[in-house]
């Protein structure tokens, strides 16, 4: 389950409830205070955080776009922040994410 917004203020409330498992933050947001706020909330509530460079890329990843006949993303809407509440079924991709955060916590990264 995913909560995504082009305006991260709406996502902030979902982080503070403690239901979030992972937050993805785009660093290319127009509002410079938002990354600091999201980072602080993630730290306060022990939510894993991944930063990416481009809000349009996050918009595409979260489905805030139209897919054309060739399968290419068109009319992509910027997304500053996305929060995952449920990873779904166990998968190799989930194992990669979990391993990344285990290494980060233990300092092996």
Look at residues 80, 83, 79 and name the one whose alpha carbon lies nearest to residue 15.
83
Tens of pLDDT, residue by residue over 38-94, are 888 888 888 889 899 998 998 888 888 899 999 888 898 888 888 887 777 888 888
pLDDT at residue 32 is higher than 90: no
Q: What are phi and psi of 32, to 5 degrees?
A: -70, -20
Q: What are phi and psi of 50, to 5 degrees?
A: -120, 130
Per-residue pLDDT band for 8 (boundaries 50, 70, 90) equals: low
Helices (H), the chain: 9-16, 33-44, 55-61, 92-106
Per-residue pLDDT band for 3 (boundaries 50, 70, 90) equals: low
Q: Determine the straight-line distance between the first and last CA of the chain, rounded to whole angstroms.
A: 28
State the Cα–Cα distance between residues 72 and 56, nearest whole angstrom: 14
């Amino acid at each position: 389950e995913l909560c995504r917004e082009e305006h991260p203020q709406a996502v902030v409330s979902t982080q503070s409830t403690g239901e979030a498992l992972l937050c993805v933050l785009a660093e290319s947001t127009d509002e410079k205070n938002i990354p600091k706020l999201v980072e602080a909330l993630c730290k306060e509530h022990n939510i894993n955080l991944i930063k990416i460079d481009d809000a349009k890329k996050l918009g595409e990843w979260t489905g805030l776009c139209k897919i054309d006949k060739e399968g290419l993303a068109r009319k992509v809407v910027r997304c500053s922040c996305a929060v995952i509440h449920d990873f779904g079924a166990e998968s190799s991709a989930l194992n990669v994410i979990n391993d990344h955060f285990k290494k980060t916590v233990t300092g092996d990264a």
